[in-house]
Chain A
Amino acid sequence: MFKMTRNILLNLVGPRATRRYPVVVRPAFENCRGEPVNDMEKCNLCGTCAVKCPSGCILVDKRNATWRFDPYACITCGVCTESCPSGSLRQRNGYRSPVREMVPVLLRGRIKEGKPKAADQVS
């Protein structure tokens, strides 16, 4: 009848079962997913990440060459990183800590020089 008593007495004298957070913090596992980070030097503003994102948190404006990201709508699924053709997106390791103000991420890129159009060449 007293099966749990042994457990309870062991818990009273044994070591702690929980970590003393925030003094002791466990580092995130290697494969743990976080938010995407964009390297604007490599980004060619193709917009694939914006099309594939399930929660619609990335906005790519090709005319003004901006990449806008809302980290508070991001679900850290990693689809944008996997589908990026230029390899400029990288996923952070581990989730961010709590913040007091919600600020979206706005990055500016360079509009790359494209091939001249056929109309220009003829004239």
Chain B
Amino acid sequence: MRQAIIPFGPQHPVFPEPVHLQLKVEDEVIREAIPAFGYVHRGLESLVSIRDLHQMVHVVERICGICSMIHALCYCQGMEELMGVEAPPRARFLRVIWSELHRIHSHLLWLGLFADSFGFESLFMELWKIREKVLDIQEATAGNRIIVSVNVIGGVRRDLDLSQRKAMLDDLQEVEQAVRSVSGVLLTDYTVSRRTVGKGVVTGEQARELGVVGPVLRASGIRQDSRMLGYAAFNELELEPVVETDGDCHARCRVRLREVFQSIDLIRQAVSRIPEGELSVKVRGKPEGEAVARVEQPRGEVFYYLKANGTKNLDRLRVRTPTFANIPALVVMLPGMWLSDVPVVVLSIDPCISCTER
């Protein structure tokens, strides 16, 4: 049988991320897939030599245009460990609220793109219509739709008063009802299940060996969520990781859908338990040493390594985003699939190439 090499390129009509896959195809069945990226590398890690410690919060937020607040949260946590300060309790609860809002909007974005990848455009539009309400909540409370800039080293910059919290809970009630009315389509529709069940299977053993993170790991049956580390008030909230056992695209879709409801529940818990107090502590001085911080982004576990040398600029900032850990899984998932399944399977790991390449 003769093989053809098809470049599934950085520009593709159905796939919004600039990742390149070199597919060795034999009669429409994929035999081998090699990923490559590097089309949007901005070299943001080298900006540490120009921007000082506090200005880097704004640079780090712009690594990703979907999970931006959680990058800033991880950086601030690493810097707080280096400088030996701790954010006050009210700030930690506020950080939880905005992180979970980010997680809801990111999962709704992904669910829409996933529906679009097998051609279901009306479901894509419905899900993004629901997402607009979440973005309005973020704009009304924090000042901007996605790049919210609420984190500073030592706490947060903005507060949520009683009327804002009540309005947020009312809006989230509408979001929850709307997602529930649409979730029946994703879970039980015949065409959706024909395109996603049994595609791109990663078993639990393979997932552990490849080192995948996030919903891809939890859909293969492994109960691991970095929020269980207990950073930023998560140790005071009740959290049970969402786990499915099938390991295919439909299982990942179910994990993310259930996480939307879990995030709404976490926000309700945080709003009811938020303590009074100040918003941030004053941070002074120039730190020295190394620190490591890990946080759960919507796509998985993000890892930050910070090295400071006593000046106002950091020596090295290293960011490893979850998509970077999930891309090697594509080499294992894709062989055996049809060529038309490639967009669905690649989208099911939730790639965010701007995060990956920084």
Residues of A within 8 Å of B142, CB to CB, are 31
Say yes or no: B51 contacts A54, CB within 8 Å.
Answer: yes
Chain B: which residue is nearest A31 at the CB level?
B143
Known: A4-B122, A31-B141. A75 touches B58 (CB 8 A): yes
Known: A1-B189, A76-B144. A7 touches B126 (CB 8 A): yes
A78 within 8 A of B: yes
Q: Within the complex, what minimum Cβ distance (angstroms) separates A81 from chain B?
A: 11
B235 within 8 A of A: no
B223 within 8 A of A: no
Residues of A within 8 Å of B185, CB to CB, are 3-4
Q: What is the bound-complex CA distance between A17 and B125, given in angstroms?
A: 11
Residues of B within 8 Å of A17, CB to CB, are 129
| Candidates A29, A32, A54, A82; contact of B55 at CB < 8 Å | A54
Say yes or no: A78 contacts B54, CB within 8 Å.
Answer: no
Say yes or no: B149 contacts A31, CB within 8 Å.
Answer: no
- Size category of the binding interface on chain B: 20 to 34
Say yes or no: B190 contacts A1, CB within 8 Å.
Answer: yes
A33 within 8 A of B: yes
| Candidates A53, A54, A78; contact of B59 at CB < 8 Å | A54
At the interface, is chain A mostly helix, strand, loop or mixed? loop
A59 within 8 A of B: no
A62 within 8 A of B: no
Say yes or no: B123 contacts A4, CB within 8 Å.
Answer: yes
B140 within 8 A of A: yes
Residues of A within 8 Å of B158, CB to CB, are 31
Say yes or no: B58 contacts A78, CB within 8 Å.
Answer: no
B184 within 8 A of A: yes
Residues of B within 8 Å of A31, CB to CB, are 139-143, 158
Residues of B within 8 Å of A8, CB to CB, are 122
B42 within 8 A of A: no
CB contacts under 8 Å to A, within B143-169, are 143-144, 147, 149, 157-158
Chain A: which residue is nearest B181 at the CB level?
A7
A40 within 8 A of B: no
Residues of B within 8 Å of A76, CB to CB, are 144
Say yes or no: B189 contacts A29, CB within 8 Å.
Answer: no
Known: A17-B129, A54-B51. A32 touches B190 (CB 8 A): no
Residues of B within 8 Å of A7, CB to CB, are 122, 126, 182
Residues of A within 8 Å of B123, CB to CB, are 4
Residues of B within 8 Å of A57, CB to CB, are none
Residues of B within 8 Å of A77, CB to CB, are 58, 149
A52 within 8 A of B: yes
Residues of A within 8 Å of B149, CB to CB, are 33, 77-78
Chain B: which residue is nearest A3 at the CB level?
B185
Say yes or no: A3 contacts B140, CB within 8 Å.
Answer: no
Residues of A within 8 Å of B126, CB to CB, are 7
Residues of A whose CB lies within 8 Å of any CB of B are 1, 3-4, 7-8, 17, 29-33, 52-55, 75-79, 82
* Nearest 7 CB-CB pairings of A with B: A54-B58, A54-B55, A33-B143, A29-B140, A3-B185, A31-B143, A77-B149
